[in-house]
Amino acid sequence: MKYYDISVHDNGENIYDHFYRTIQYKLYYPLLFSLPFNYSKQTISSQENFLFNIAGGLQEVKIKIQNSVIKGYHEYKIAPPIELPLRLTPQYANIHDEEAVLVWMPNEHSINEEILKSKNSQGITIKELVNPVSVIIGHVPRGLGRLLKQCMDKNVQVTCLATGKPRQSFPPWPHFSQKGGGVVIPCEYILTCKKNEAQELISKIKSSFQNVQGGEGMKISVINM
C-alpha cells in the first residue's frame, strides 16, 4: 500500500520526518492502518487528524456511578475498607434475581501488605477477610445489577469502592424499616471502557437508574485516563 508521496507536508514538515512519526503510530495502532488510506500532499493532514481521533477513541475512560450502595449487609455483615477496589461477579445461582451481581473482597495477591495488616471498622484485619479465599460483601442494587452483568459479559471492567461505613438506608433509598431498606454500605461503581464506547454506555446507565429504588439519587462522572 502506498502511504506517501515524496514531497513536503502541507505544514512544511519534511516528509521523511512525517513518515517516521507515522511509523510510530503504526506500531501503537496497527489496526488503524488496515484501512484503505491513500496518502498525498493534499490529504495527508486531514487523514492524520482522522487517525488521531480514532486513536483517541481507543483510549480508556472510567465512568463512575456515584451515590450508590452495596446491599445485603444484614446477611454477610462484612464492612469493607474505604476506597479498596472490590470485585464483582454475577450470581448465577440466585433464584430470586437472575440478574444479581455479588460484591467481593479482592484476592489477597492484589492487595499490598500494608493494607492487609489494616483493620476494617469491625476490627477485623483485611488479611482475615481475604484469607484463604475472598469473602462476599453484599450485592449490587436490583435493577443496576442487570446493566453491570451485561457490561461484564462484554469484558467491561467493573469494580466497586466503598465510600462510607455500613449505615441505615437513607433517602432516596427506601427507609430502613420499609421493603428494600435496611443497612447499606455507601459506594460507587466504576466501569472502565474505551472512550468511543463511553457515550452509549452512559445512556444505558442513566436508563438503568429508572429500574432502581433510589436510583434518582445516583450520579455519573467520567474520568479520562
pLDDT tens digits for range 20-68: 444 444 444 444 444 444 444 444 445 445 444 544 556 899 999 999 9
- pLDDT of 121 reads 81
Instruction: Look at the block and give the residue holding cell 449487609.
Output: 73
pTM tops 0.85: no
Average pLDDT, the chain: 76
Own/partner contacts of 31-35, CB < 8 Å, gap of 24 or more, are: none
pLDDT tens digits for range 37-50: 444 444 444 544 54
